Structure 1
Amino acid sequence: MARHVLGRVDSTNAEAQRLAGQLSGPTWIMARQQTAGRGRRGRDWSTGAGNFAASLLLRPQGGPAQVAKLSFVAALALDEALTAVCGPFARIAIKWPNDVLLNGGKVAGILLESIGSGQGVDALAIGIGVNLAEAPHPDSVEPGAMAPVSVLAETGHAVTQDDFLDLLAPSFDHWLRQMQTYGFDPIRTAWLARAAKLGETITARTGRDSWTGRFDGIDETGALILQTAEGQKIIPAADVFFEGG
């Protein structure tokens, strides 16, 4: 996959969207400094000095439901790359729908943004942010959200942006090929093996509703399966909160 490395940009996802008409093949767009990063639901994503900010621009096959499954591919690639840099004693887990945790704190996030019209997806930007060198101040995150952490503070390992991309890009390519060849089932199985709080009590919240129950996994679409007092709930999109945090 091609790479574009920028000194400074507002958002790597925004840059991917601007370049979508010019790039013919899959391309990683990485920034040394990102000034206006964003997360899910329009939230700000703080990118401190030395942290990782990159987007992969793809032209995926399938409609929005199929394309959304690429967030699980990205999560598996992130898990592998972080395991490589953090070492065997770090506790790394994937939090549904789009975060990766290190020692119980949020170290990375994923944001998918499609480019197209109607139900078509002409191109997709997969934005990935990782706190390699520093984490945002805890006061900067919303109440109840996971406390942010950094690779450096948690493990003492200093990792450059380039070295992290050298690990992330081939891992993403591996898991993407797995899904293209065998479908979503092996991705789902691998993701569940790394899932945070599987089998434990969690709370899923949307703008209108909140459900608490046992996290029983994800279904064939990637939706959350929650066993509540009122029965099983299948939740395609929500924010997840753990007990005590």
Structure 2
Amino acid sequence: MNSTPFAPDAPWRIDRTRLATIAERPARDWTIEIVDETGSTNADLMEQLRASRRGSTPAPMARVAYSQTAGRGRRGRAWLAEPGNALLMSVGCVLKRPIEGLSGLSLAIGVAVLDALAHLPLSPSARPALKWPNDVLLDDGKLAGILIETAWNTPDATAVVIGIGLNLHGAEQLAAQVDDANRQAAQSTQSTPGTAPAALARAWPDANLTDTLAAILNALDAALSRFEAEGFRPFRQRWLDAHAWAGREVVLIDQGMEVTRGIVSGVDESGQLLIDAPEGPRTVTTGELTLRLARERP
């Protein structure tokens, strides 16, 4: 889908000329598509990569949409955003690593998003941080979410799609929408609500899609090359330094029920969460359970 439901001169549209100037290598070597609306940028690139030849290593592809009709986050949660209020993007690429060598990729991408934010004119008082396994926080609110999917793999390569949704404006409106969605979900499932949303405009009143996209592309370009060569290990300390819940008591939840609780002691070199639980040290694999601060009971 590539419809045009928004005014062509809307002030929040991405300035392609400026993007080409400040996006560095991605602007030259990547395929960058910007569409008004689609179902899901992740689904679009998954389809493209699945149609590609296995084992091929095309240049990364970025797809950005101003609106998604079927945007989603981790565990199938809907990703809500009004046109111009959020950066909705996915990057598809082939990493020369087997699928088991992708451990910690979502954490490494979180570090890349922090690196991108460091190149934007945020207020000195802003506190970007990371929440395991795939959220970027701003002053304890959820600024961005990361969703990684694999399209195909061979013994020495994996095609991945990295979805990033980052809120720029409208945090209050978004919070109301999320609350409504959570109430509806609670009526039919045992899912637990996520962290309240935050928007980049809190730390950068003039937040815009063009500069944010360029910063993300530049940071991903560097991060993907490094992850391909070295895995999560070189990102680990940076992630630990930015971990919002380091040393705090958390609750592990499975389908709405508390499994255990304990103190977060960090992550290992494969990106697994380390918790000191009453029954002893516990390692939590990405996607295994839902994590909440202990005060947030299911």
* Cα distance in structure 1, aligned partners of 2:121 and 2:72: 25
Distance 2:88 2:75 in 1: 18
RMSD: 2.2
Question: Cα distance, 1:53 vs. partner?
Answer: 0.4
Of the structure 1 ranges 94-103 and 162-171, higher mean CA displacement relative to structure 2 is found in 162-171
- 1:140-151 mapped onto 2 (5 Å cutoff): 140=180, 142=182, 143-151=192-200
Residues 140 and 82 (structure 1), Cα distance of their counterparts in 2 relative to 1, 3 Å cut: farther
Higher relative contact order (CA 8 A, sep 6+): 2
Shift of 1:169: 1.0
Which of 23, 46, 60 is the matching residue for 2:95? 60
Q: Is residue 7 of structure 1 aligned with residue 33 of structure 2?
A: no
8 Å CA contact 2:260–2:277 kept in 1: the answer is yes
Residues 130-172 of structure 1 show CA distances to partners (whole Å, capped at 9, x for unaligned) of 11112322414545421112122x2352322221111011112
Structure-2 separation of matches of 1:222 and 1:240: 15
**What is the CA–CA distance in structure 2 between the aligned matches of 1:111 and 1:125, rounded to whole Å?**
8
> Which residue matches 1:37?
71
* Alpha-carbon offset, residue 93 of structure 1: 0.6
* Aligned amino acid, residue 160 of structure 2: L
Partner of 1:242: 293
Distance 1:53 1:85 in 2: 20
Q: Which has the larger radius of gyration?
A: 2
**Partner residue in 2 for 1:124:** 160
* Residue 176 of structure 1: aligned partner: 224
Q: Distance in 2 between matches of 1:228 and 1:209?
A: 13
Q: Match for residue 106 of structure 1?
A: 142
Change (3 A) 1:78 1:180: same
Counterparts of 2:170 and 2:70 in 1: how far apart (Å)?
17
Give the aligned partner of residue 70 of structure 1. 105
Query: Where does the alignment leave 5 or more consecutive residues of structure 2 unmatched?
Result: 1-25, 183-191
Once structures 1 and 2 are overlaid, which stretch shifts more, 60-69 or 121-130? 60-69
Residue 169 (structure 2) pairs with residue 133 (structure 1): yes
TM-score by length of 2: 0.75
State the AA in 1 paired with 2:259. S
**For residues 157 and 58 of structure 2, what CA distance do their matches in structure 1 show?**
15
Q: Conserved in 2, the CA contact under 8 Å of 1:85 and 1:157?
A: no
8 Å contact from structure 2 (residues 128, 139) kept in 1: yes
Task: Note closer, same or farther for the CA distance 1:109–1:123 as it changes in structure 2 (3 Å cut).
Answer: same
What's the counterpart of residue 199 of structure 1? 247
Percentage identity across paired residues of the two chains = 30
CA distance in 2, matches of 1:38, 1:109: 10
Alpha-carbon distance between aligned partners in 2 of 1:81 and 1:117, rounded to the nearest angstrom: 28
After the TM superposition, which of the residue ranges 17-26 and 195-204 deviates more from structure 2?
Answer: 17-26
Asked if the contact 1:49/1:133 (under 8 Å) is kept, the reply is no
| Paired AA for residue 66 in structure 2 | R
